[in-house]
Amino acid sequence: MISRAILVLNAGSSTIKAAVFVNGREVARAGSDAVPDHGAALSRVMADLAAQGHAIDSFAAAAHRVVHGGEALGTSARITPEVRAQIADCIPLAPLHNPHHLEVIDSIAALAPDLPQFASFDTAFHASIPEVATRYALPCTPDTRGLRRYGFHGISYAALVEALPRQTGQPLPGRLLAFHLGNGASICAIREGRSVGTTMGYSPNAGLTMGTRSGDMDPAAVLELARRLGVDAAEHLLTHASGLLGLSGDSFDMRALQASGAPGAQLAIWHFCYWSARHAGSMIAAMGGLDAIAFTGGIGENAGDIRNDILLKLKWAGDVPTHIVPAQEEAFVAREASNLMEGPEFAA
């Protein structure tokens, strides 16, 4: 294992989070929220890490969480000019994320030109999903190119697959129903350690009711919203003003909704649990049965009432072990970078 520090960077649409790992152990953390300028925010984050004793020249590598790798980037990779170009090619698929990933990648390259950089992709874990599950029922024409289900939260699910056997001391269950429940929420059908289905699709807006995202909707309803509001306003509504926030009329925070006695808050909770269980049935079908259930993410790990409601709705599937697995996405990204650094391609 590489012994020097690895810098893990996660550039969101309006945030930057950074963590430092040495031999797989987190030793420092910094972040910046509500950032209009990711370059300036990165400077503040790097200054904070330097104040903690982790200057840029102390790192063996920088590793990035990248939301979209498209069809070409199905595994973690060293960032070369070709890989950078492929990340850029995916900007139309993730316009709120991939541009910021590239901005941070380029900023690190400017600060430390010789520092190796690596990327792990949220879409990569789902590269094993069969075509019948990723293909929309559309004709294959130039106009429909790239319109398919990709799936997201893949780094979270890949980390869960690694962590669960360590946590239980038992082999990974053959048919594992995994819930990543947070402000973004999805389910993954994991058979023999590989994704065979997931609820998110072309974008992270598909599937479950989420904090501010609508989840699944009839395409005709989406088109009607676009006609009424215009495309940009409809997109904003579906992505930033729907989900728990839209249903409750008050908050996207599950803790606040659980503490509220308002009818809208209760409806939002019911909706979240109902659609989580309903989509779970589809994922169980994709696996051909069920051997265990795992929860991760902020809601999945901490909201016992929500877990219990979903599990009660899934009693029909049988009595199977249920696990709570703390999210370990950043540690996974660091391990992926370390493994690549030890491989023959890096040595060459």
Active-site residues: which are they?
A: 122
CA dihedral 298, 302, 308, 311 (to 10 degrees): 40
Quick one: which of 18, 125, 3, 8 has its CA closest to 75? 125
Give me Rg for the CA atoms of the chain.
20
- C-beta separation of 67 from 123 below 8 A: yes
Residues 6+ apart with CB under 8 A from 224: none
DSSP collapsed to 3 states, 163-229? HHHHHHCCCCCCEEEEEEECCCEEEEEEECCEEEEECCCCCCCCCCCCCCCCCCCCHHHHHHHHHHH
Strand, coil or helix: 9: strand
